[in-house]
Amino acid sequence: MTPETPAGSRDVIRYSQDSFLVKCEAEAPVDFLQKIDRIGGHALEAHCGETSVLVRFDPTQTDPAELATTLETLEVDASETKRKHLRLRIRYDGPDLADIAAATDLSIGQVITLHSQATYQVAFAGFSPGFAYLTGLPKQLHLPRRNTPRARVPAGSLAIAAHYCAIYPNSTPGGWHLLGTSNAELFNPDRNPPALLRPGTSITFEPVQ
């Protein structure tokens, strides 16, 4: 895998009056996001999704065509991305453990082992403040969302759905399968950055009783 993206290969779409959507194909959106942060200049802010990055600018100060060219040709080297590692303690006591085991033809113990031996990466955030979508979930644990979402998922719930893993920072409605609980402070509005899990953070889970 070459670390650098060939110049001019990136798809950049004018998303709104004051933003571009950059489709990331040769690199992870988080690598592009952090590159944008490092170059500074005309991009005011950026945030990423699963396969793309939205870059906002001030059209009264910045020439959109010039910024588009920069975004299309920016060389992104994934090895420059800052990757903070966190180890989070998890009580594997979720109400859906038995259902997950049944759906995956594994024992509950195997589900916990499989889940806690993987390393996860924060791909992007969304849904609610501090809610991070983690990639790295072993394939055997990929399951569609629950048929009936819960009206209230307790804060701190460790959950999985499709190829993602997440911890609910707040009590919200949710349709993911609940595996366990974490005591980590995932979101604190009095801290900046307010989220514990930021794009680029890698995470391992340590089972505790």
Partner 1 sequence: MTLEVLNPGIQSIICDAGRFGLARYGVPRSGAFDRGSYTRANQLVGNDVPNEFASDSGPASIETIFGGLRVQAHRDLIVAVTGATGPMTVLDHDADDKHFVPREAAFTLTRGSRLHVAPAETGLRSYLAVRGGFGIAAILGSRSTDTNSGIGPAKLAKRHILEISPDTGVNNHISQPNVEALTWATYDQTIPIRPGSHANLIDGGISALTESDGWTVSPTSGRNGVRLAPRVLTQRPRVTADQLSSEPTLCGAIQALPSGELVVLGPDGPTTGGYPVVAVLDRAGVDVVAQARPGAVLRFTAAPD
Q: Which residues bind partner 1 (CB under 8 A)?
A: 13-19, 21, 33, 44-54, 56-61, 124-133, 170, 187, 189-190, 192-195, 198-199
Place of tokens 């571009």: 20
Q: Which is nearer to partner 1, 92 or 124 (CB)?
A: 124
- Provide, rounded to whole angstroms, the least separation between the CB of residue 35 and partner 1: 14
Cβ closer to partner 1: 92 or 133?
133
Least separation in angstroms between residue 208's CB and partner 1 is 26
- Paired with 41 in beta bridges are none
User: From the CA atom positions of the chain, what is the Rg in Å?
Assistant: 19
| Cβ 15 to partner 1 shortest distance, Å | 6
Query: Is 59 or 109 the residue whose CB approaches partner 1 more closely?
Result: 59
Tokens standing for residue 73: 């040709």
Identify the H or E element spanning 152: strand 150-153
For the chain, percent helix, then strand, then coil, each to nearest 5?
A: 20, 35, 45
User: Measuring CA to CA, which residue among 74, 25, 71 is closest to residue 50?
Assistant: 25
Measured from the CB atom, is 156 or 199 closer to partner 1? 199
Kindly state the smallest distance separating residue 38's Cβ from partner 1, in Å. 14
Least Cα distance to 50 among 204, 202, 199 occurs for 199
